[in-house]
């Protein structure tokens, strides 16, 4: 009682932060406030969340508006970055650090201190216990006992006292550190996250086909210099069958420095390009409406006897099929062509979902001829006289949407994740196992007493001890 | 698709689990060991045919998708993930049955499996093999989703043993722990019944999840257009809660009759969380973050799914730490284990159904 009172404030604060109780309080605080953040859409238009509040509380627009005002001033509309949520995370770290420092000396002692021989009374009190009697003098079965212990994977030490022999061994004493390794990994991950926020950036870049840039954009049009140039050479989307569901989209990117090409890569979702610490992720795509009619139509005109030639032309431009007379003309274009019930063509989307060009030829088998040629449908490329016009690409009318990131902390985060995996494995799937085997002489035979303990997964260790007992007693059931 | 080999085996496993449920309950009632052996055999048959069904579907998907075996894993939509969840749950149950040599537990697990499979059938959710959007085309899909579901089924086991522990360990009706489990149990029963009524009264074939929540969830009961029906639903809810609260003692008698001690229940709860937690951390959170980093360049964005996984993680971290606190062992930690699984369900279903639904209301 007296001692309690003499605690200084520092001691009180230390004890508070070292307590598991504070840990669970912080867990609940972070968990409960995080829930609010998932209901209110973060960084959204105010009206969105006002609608959410109206739905949730069944109140009028006015009331919802004032609730919104209160929540907004408390930082709930960007709560994961609000001072109090960051405060919770800092408290969490402080708790982790202090509680680890508080316990570590005791645990280290347990880890470092080698196992010692125990008195018979102590061995008898162990949570796992077996005993058996075998023929022979204690000194004569020494080899067998240490050999059996080695067989279940332990290196036994030996001590003797008057009439008593004891073998003892331990394994996995370091596993007691598993919890602290896990705690440390959380701190490493958070440190990596802070480094990323401080020294890295997240930006976006919508780069049209054929264009080169040296900057990306953060937030409301803030330029972020890349330190090199990036060019989008081409962009393509593959669709599943006849549907408009994208199967894959790819960008052909080139990194340039002082006008020289340094690196080329085709990126797709899940396969980014990294150069100079900056990574470009394929995230979206879209049409360049203003340029929609000024793109380059890439065709391959193939004659009926198989002679082909690639032609770059424009809408309104011309092309020729090798070996034929007359000039073909591209007279119409649709980014997404479909036909209605009466067979009339119409454009169903402003995006480049099903690009098609209308071609007119003066002489196909002696007659003027015209048809729609669709990029996604090769069967529309054939002409009646056996020649064909392949629609390969409509280039320069789409942009590729890239997520641009520099994060020097990400490797530290990955390292933290690895350490966490190791820490969790040690904590939950390994244990500190100790065993003592006492051998005494009893009526001309050797009495063996096994005592063992494990701080976790006791059942598994008990099976090992069962095996050890079996090995020691083998000889009783016949044999040698 | 209905004629494919995989769906035949799926049907077989559904029937087997429902039959096993009846047998396990019969075993509880009559205590005939032969009935128990038959129940186990039927469960194993169901499990084998479900395994075959999943493998066959994997093959079908592989042949359609042409993207390699790893990316053809049948875990890409609600239907497939529910099926895999049931598979894990039955596997976990069979392990427990053989480890603890106790069949009584089956009467509580097989109904869950049967209900989930029946739910899939009644709800008419899409069973078609759907092509993968580009973001899902990654080898992380297999490990991330599979490990998440393995941990979910561990948590499901801890939920039921935790609830049983509470039932066994409480007797007074004014005890907070007693009130807690009666309310939890009635919410579960009522929600299941309400969803069942939705499907019976609308017989809808739902195309997407958002449509489900917007137009149909609880429309037959709580959210009915007629305020009388909705009021009646709440009254029925209250009545069911009251009945469970009033006659909870009877349930306790059934469970104490199972020959499972409270200590064993506590041990299974702890062990399944001790297995589930590291798997969830690694497969759910860490692999999820690495995948997000490779696909989008952001390993953590506080989006509702991520945040709810973190909330779940904190619940179970709470559980593991609170066991170390004086005065928390027993009933209090069991309550945390039960609440943890509520967070799991919300992470899995609630985020997709409720939160996105809530937000899309706002954007009209």
- B150 in a structural domain: no
Give the pLDDT of residue A360: 92
Confidence of residue B125 (pLDDT cuts 50, 70, 90): low
Q: Is residue A11 located within the same domain as residue A102? A: yes
Spatial separation of the C-alpha atoms in residues A445 and A137, rounded to whole Å: 6
Give the pLDDT of residue A219: 76
Spatial separation of the C-alpha atoms in residues A285 and A208, rounded to whole Å: 9
Q: Average pLDDT of chain B? A: 82
Disruptive mutation site among A20, A23, A24 for chain B (greatest number of B CBs within 10 Å): A24
- How distant is the Cα of B307 from the closest Cα of chain A, in angstroms? 7
Sorted by sequence, the CB contacts under 8 Å of residue B277 that are 6+ apart come out as: A424, A428, B151, B313, B316, B317, B320
Residue range B33-46: average pLDDT? 92
- B336 in a structural domain: yes
The number of distinct structural domains making up chain B is 1
Q: pLDDT at residue B209 above 50?
A: yes
Spatial separation of the C-alpha atoms in residues B42 and B114, rounded to whole Å: 13
Residue range A420-443: average pLDDT? 91
Instruction: Pick the last residue of a domain from A416, A447, A468.
Output: A416
Confidence of residue A265 (pLDDT cuts 50, 70, 90): very high
> Which DSSP symbol is given to B38?
H
Residue range A441-445: average pLDDT? 83
Q: Is residue A39 located within the same domain as residue A122? A: no
Taking CB atoms within 8 Å and a gap of at least 24, the contacts of A161-165 are A163/A138, A163/A440, A163/A441, A164/A120, A164/A438, A164/A439, A164/A440, A165/A138, A165/A139, A165/A438, A165/A439, A165/A440
Spatial separation of the C-alpha atoms in residues B360 and B357, rounded to whole Å: 5
**Burial, A62: exposed, middle or buried (Cβ in 10 Å; 0-12, 13-18, 19+)?**
exposed
B98 touches chain A (CB under 8 A): no
Identify the bridge partners of residue A347 per DSSP, sorted by sequence position. A337
Q: Higher-confidence residue: A59 or A4?
A: A59
- B307 in a structural domain: yes
Of A129, A125, A126, A122, the closest CA to residue A469 belongs to A129
Chain B residues with beta carbon closer than 8 angstroms to that of A38:
304, 307-308, 351, 355
- A181 in a structural domain: no
- The rounded Cα A394 to chain-centroid distance in angstroms is 36
- How distant is the Cα of B29 from the closest Cα of chain A, in angstroms? 32
- A184 in a structural domain: no
End-to-end CA distance of chain B: 36
Chain A residues with beta carbon closer than 8 angstroms to that of B295:
269-270, 281
In terms of CA atoms, which chain B residue is nearest residue A250?
B134
Q: pLDDT at residue A356 above 90?
A: yes
- How distant is the Cα of B326 from the closest Cα of chain A, in angstroms? 10
Confidence of residue B2 (pLDDT cuts 50, 70, 90): very low
Q: pLDDT at residue A389 above 50?
A: yes
> Which DSSP symbol is given to B364?
-
The minimal CB distance from B358 to the residues A39, A246, A421 is found for A39
- How distant is the Cα of B19 from the closest Cα of chain A, in angstroms? 34
Instruction: Pick the last residue of a domain from A51, A73, A106.
Output: A106
Residue A463, domain CATH: 3.30.530.20
Spatial separation of the C-alpha atoms in residues B20 and A88, rounded to whole Å: 49
A136 touches A145 (CB < 8 A): no
Instruction: Pick the last residue of a domain from A382, A416, A450.
Output: A416
Q: Which two tokens stand for residue A222?
A: 């803030």
Q: Order of strands across the sheet with A201-208?
A: A260-268, A246-257, A222-239, A212-218, A201-208, A398-406, A278-287, A273-275
- A60 in a structural domain: yes
Residue range B165-190: average pLDDT? 88
Chain A residues with beta carbon closer than 8 angstroms to that of B290:
414, 417
The number of distinct structural domains making up chain A is 4
Residue range A369-383: average pLDDT? 91
A445 touches A472 (CB < 8 A): no
Helix or strand or coil: residue A254?
Answer: strand
- A404 in a structural domain: yes
Q: pLDDT at residue A191 above 90?
A: yes
A416 touches A189 (CB < 8 A): yes
Q: Is residue A248 located within the same domain as residue A120? A: no
Helix axes B140-169, B287-296, angle to 10 degrees: 150
Q: Is residue A168 located within the same domain as residue A237? A: no
Chain B residues with beta carbon closer than 8 angstroms to that of A421:
278, 281-282, 286
pLDDT by residue (tens digit) across A13-37? 888 888 888 888 898 899 889 988 8
Give the pLDDT of residue A282: 93
- A216 in a structural domain: yes
For CA atoms A187, A188, A193, A195, give the dihedral sign.
positive
Confidence of residue B287 (pLDDT cuts 50, 70, 90): very high
Of all residues in chain A, the percent with pLDDT exceeding 70 is: 98
Q: Which two tokens stand for residue B226?
A: 């007629």
Q: Do B297 and A413 touch (CB under 8 A)?
A: no
Taking CB atoms within 8 Å and a gap of at least 24, the contacts of A5-11 are none
Spatial separation of the C-alpha atoms in residues A97 and A91, rounded to whole Å: 10
The minimal CB distance from A417 to the residues B286, B295, B355 is found for B286
Disruptive mutation site among B299, B303, B345 for chain A (greatest number of A CBs within 10 Å): B299
Neighbour tally for B95: CB within 10 Å: 11
Give the pLDDT of residue A47: 85
Chain B residues with beta carbon closer than 8 angstroms to that of A50:
362
- Residue ranges with strand state E in A244-295: 246-257, 260-268, 273-275, 278-287
Chain A residues with beta carbon closer than 8 angstroms to that of B362:
41, 47-52, 55
The residue to which tokens 């048959």 are assigned:
B45
Identify the bridge partners of residue A205 per DSSP, sorted by sequence position. A402
- How distant is the Cα of A434 from the closest Cα of chain B, in angstroms? 22
Confidence of residue B124 (pLDDT cuts 50, 70, 90): low
A27-36, A382-391, B255-264 — which is least confidently predicted? Answer: B255-264
**Burial, A63: exposed, middle or buried (Cβ in 10 Å; 0-12, 13-18, 19+)?**
middle
Q: Do A38 and B307 touch (CB under 8 A)?
A: yes
Q: Average pLDDT of chain A? A: 88
In terms of CA atoms, which chain B residue is nearest residue A31?
B311
Disruptive mutation site among A41, A269, A274, A460 for chain B (greatest number of B CBs within 10 Å): A269
Q: Of the spans A209-218, A315-324, B1-10, which averages the highest pLDDT?
A: A209-218
B310 touches chain A (CB under 8 A): yes
Q: Do B325 and A20 touch (CB under 8 A)?
A: yes
Q: Which two tokens stand for residue A189?
A: 């991950």
Sorted by sequence, the CB contacts under 8 Å of residue A24 that are 6+ apart come out as: B318, B321, B322, B325
Q: Note down the domain range covering B221.
A: 169-263+288-364
Q: Is residue A16 located within the same domain as residue A100? A: yes
Helical (H) or strand (E) element with A213: strand A212-218
Give the pLDDT of residue B111: 78
- A96 in a structural domain: yes
Chain B residues with beta carbon closer than 8 angstroms to that of A414:
290
- B207 in a structural domain: yes
Confidence of residue A477 (pLDDT cuts 50, 70, 90): very low
Q: Do A49 and B358 touch (CB under 8 A)?
A: no
Task: Write out residues 272-291 of B within 8 Å (CB-CB) of A.
Answer: 274-275, 277-278, 281-282, 286, 289-290
**Burial, A135: exposed, middle or buried (Cβ in 10 Å; 0-12, 13-18, 19+)?**
exposed
Q: Higher-confidence residue: B222 or A424?
A: A424
Task: Write out residues 22-61 of A within 8 Å (CB-CB) of B.
Answer: 23-24, 27-28, 30-31, 34-35, 37-39, 41-42, 47-52, 55-56
In terms of CA atoms, which chain A residue is nearest residue B355?
A39
Of A417, A405, A407, the closest CA to residue A272 belongs to A405
Which H, E and C letters describe B58-126, residue by residue? HHHHHHHHCCCCHHHCCCCCHHHHHHHHHHHHHHHHHHHHHHHCCCCCHHHHHHHHHHHHHHHHHHCCC
Q: Is residue A18 located within the same domain as residue A149? A: no
Measured CA to CA in angstroms, residue B130 lies from A52, B8, B76, B136, B319 at distances of 32, 19, 8, 12, 38
Q: Is residue A218 located within the same domain as residue A275? A: yes
Residue range A116-138: average pLDDT? 87
Q: Which two tokens stand for residue A80?
A: 């994961």
Q: Note down the domain range covering A349.
A: 296-394
Residue range B300-322: average pLDDT? 90
- B337 in a structural domain: yes
Give the pLDDT of residue A88: 93
Confidence of residue B198 (pLDDT cuts 50, 70, 90): confident
Q: pLDDT at residue A392 above 70?
A: yes
Residue range A285-309: average pLDDT? 89
Residue range A112-122: average pLDDT? 87
Residue range B125-136: average pLDDT? 71
Q: What is the CA radius of gyration of chain B?
A: 21
Q: pLDDT at residue A143 above 90?
A: no
- How distant is the Cα of B56 from the closest Cα of chain A, in angstroms? 22
A29 touches A106 (CB < 8 A): no
Helices (H) and strands (E) in chain A, counts: 11, 22
- B345 in a structural domain: yes
End-to-end CA distance of chain A: 65
Q: Order of strands across the sheet with A356-364?
A: A318-319, A328-334, A356-364, A367-374
Q: Is residue A227 located within the same domain as residue A271? A: yes
Taking CB atoms within 8 Å and a gap of at least 24, the contacts of A466-471 are A466/A130, A467/A152, A468/A130, A468/A148, A468/A149, A468/A151, A468/A152, A468/A435, A468/A437, A469/A130, A469/A132, A471/A148, A471/A151, A471/A152
Spatial separation of the C-alpha atoms in residues A72 and A47, rounded to whole Å: 12
For CA atoms B29, B33, B34, B40, give the dihedral sign.
positive
- B183 in a structural domain: yes
Spatial separation of the C-alpha atoms in residues B297 and A65, rounded to whole Å: 35
């Amino acid at each position: 009682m007296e001692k309690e009172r003499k605690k200084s404030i520092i001691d009180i604060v230390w004890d508070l932060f070292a307590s598991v109780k504070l840990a669970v309080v912080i867990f609940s605080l972070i968990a409960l406030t995080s829930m609010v953040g998932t209901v209110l859409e973060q960084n959204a238009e105010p009206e969105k969340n006002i609608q959410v509040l109206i739905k949730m509380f069944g109140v009028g627009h006015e009331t919802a508006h004032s609730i919104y005002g209160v929540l907004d001033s408390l930082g709930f509309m960007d709560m994961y970055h609000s001072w109090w949520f960051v405060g919770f995370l800092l408290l969490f770290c402080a708790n982790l650090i202090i509680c680890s420092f508080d316990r570590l000396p005791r645990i280290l002692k347990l880890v470092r201190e080698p196992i010692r021989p125990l008195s018979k009374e102590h061995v008898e009190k162990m949570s796992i216990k077996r005993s058996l009697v075998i023929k022979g003098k204690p000194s004569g079965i020494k080899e067998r006992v240490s050999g059996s212990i080695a067989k279940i994977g332990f290196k036994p030490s030996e001590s003797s006292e008057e009439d008593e022999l004891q073998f003892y061994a331990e394994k996995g004493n370091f596993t007691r550190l598993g919890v602290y390794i896990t705690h440390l990994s959380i701190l490493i991950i958070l440190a990596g996250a802070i480094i990323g926020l401080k020294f890295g950036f997240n930006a976006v870049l919508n780069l049209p086909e054929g264009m080169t840039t040296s900057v990306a954009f953060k937030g409301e049009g803030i330029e972020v210099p890349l330190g090199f140039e990036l060019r989008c050479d081409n962009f393509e989307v593959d669709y599943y069958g006849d549907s408009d569901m994208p199967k894959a989209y790819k960008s052909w990117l080139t990194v340039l420095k002082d006008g020289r090409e340094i690196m080329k890569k085709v990126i797709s979702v899940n396969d980014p390009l990294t150069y100079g610490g900056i990574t470009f992720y394929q995230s979206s795509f879209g049409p360049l409406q203003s340029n929609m009619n000024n793109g380059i139509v890439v065709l391959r005109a193939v004659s009926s006897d198989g002679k082909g030639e690639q032609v770059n032309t424009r809408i309104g431009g011309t092309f020729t099929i090798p070996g034929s007379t007359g000039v073909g003309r591209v007279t119409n274009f649709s980014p997404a062509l479909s036909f209605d019930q009466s067979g009339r063509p119409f454009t169903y989307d402003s995006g480049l979902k099903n690009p098609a060009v209308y071609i007119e030829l003066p002489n196909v088998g002696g007659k003027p001829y015209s048809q729609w040629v669709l990029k996604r449908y090769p069967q529309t490329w054939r002409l009646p006289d056996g020649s064909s016009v392949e629609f390969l690409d409509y280039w320069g009318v789409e942009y590729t949407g890239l997520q641009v990131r520099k994060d020097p902390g990400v490797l530290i985060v990955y390292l933290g994740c690895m350490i966490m995996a190791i820490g969790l494995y040690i904590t939950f799937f390994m244990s500190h196992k100790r065993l003592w085997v006492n051998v005494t002489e009893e009526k001309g035979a050797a009495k063996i007493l096994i005592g063992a303990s494990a701080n976790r997964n006791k059942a598994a260790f008990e099976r090992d001890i069962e095996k050890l007992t079996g090995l020691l007693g083998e000889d009783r059931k016949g044999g040698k | 698709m209905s004629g494919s080999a995989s769906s035949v085996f799926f049907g077989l496993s559904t029937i087997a689990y429902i039959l096993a449920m009846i047998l396990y309950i019969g075993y509880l009632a009559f205590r005939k060991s032969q009935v128990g052996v038959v129940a186990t055999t039927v469960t194993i048959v169901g499990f084998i045919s479900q395994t075959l069904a999943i493998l066959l579907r994997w093959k079908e998907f592989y042949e359609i998708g042409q993207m390699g075996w790893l990316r053809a894993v049948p875990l890409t939509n609600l239907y497939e993930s529910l099926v895999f969840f049931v598979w894990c749950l039955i596997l976990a149950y069979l392990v427990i049955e053989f480890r603890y040599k106790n069949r009584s537990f089956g009467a509580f697990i097989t109904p869950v499996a049967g209900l989930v499979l029946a739910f899939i059938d009644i709800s008419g959710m899409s069973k078609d093999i759907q092509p993968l959007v580009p973001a899902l085309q990654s080898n992380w899909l297999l490990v991330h989703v599979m490990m998440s579901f393995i941990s979910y089924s561990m948590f499901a086991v801890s939920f039921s043993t935790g609830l049983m522990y509470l039932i066994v360990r409480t007797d007074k009706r004014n005890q907070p722990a007693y009130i807690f489990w009666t309310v939890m149990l009635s919410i579960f029963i009522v929600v299941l019944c309400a969803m069942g009524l939705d499907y019976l009264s609308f017989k809808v074939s739902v195309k997407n999840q958002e449509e489900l929540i917007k137009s149909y969830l609880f429309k037959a009961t709580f959210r009915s257009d007629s305020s009388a029906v909705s009021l009646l639903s709440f009254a029925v809810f209250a009545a069911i809660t009251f009945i469970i609260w009033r006659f909870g003692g009877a349930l306790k008698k059934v469970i104490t009759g199972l020959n499972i001690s409270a200590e064993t229940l506590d041990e299974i709860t702890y062990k399944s969380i001790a297995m589930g937690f590291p798997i969830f951390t690694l497969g759910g959170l860490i692999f999820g973050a690495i995948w997000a980093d490779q696909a989008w360049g952001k390993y953590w964005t506080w989006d509702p799914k991520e945040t709810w996984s973190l909330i779940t993680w904190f619940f179970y971290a709470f559980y593991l730490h609170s066991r170390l606190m004086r005065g928390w062992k027993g009933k209090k930690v069991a309550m945390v284990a039960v609440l943890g699984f509520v967070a799991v369900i919300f992470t899995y279903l609630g985020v997709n159904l409720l939160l996105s639904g809530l937000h899309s209301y706002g954007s009209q």
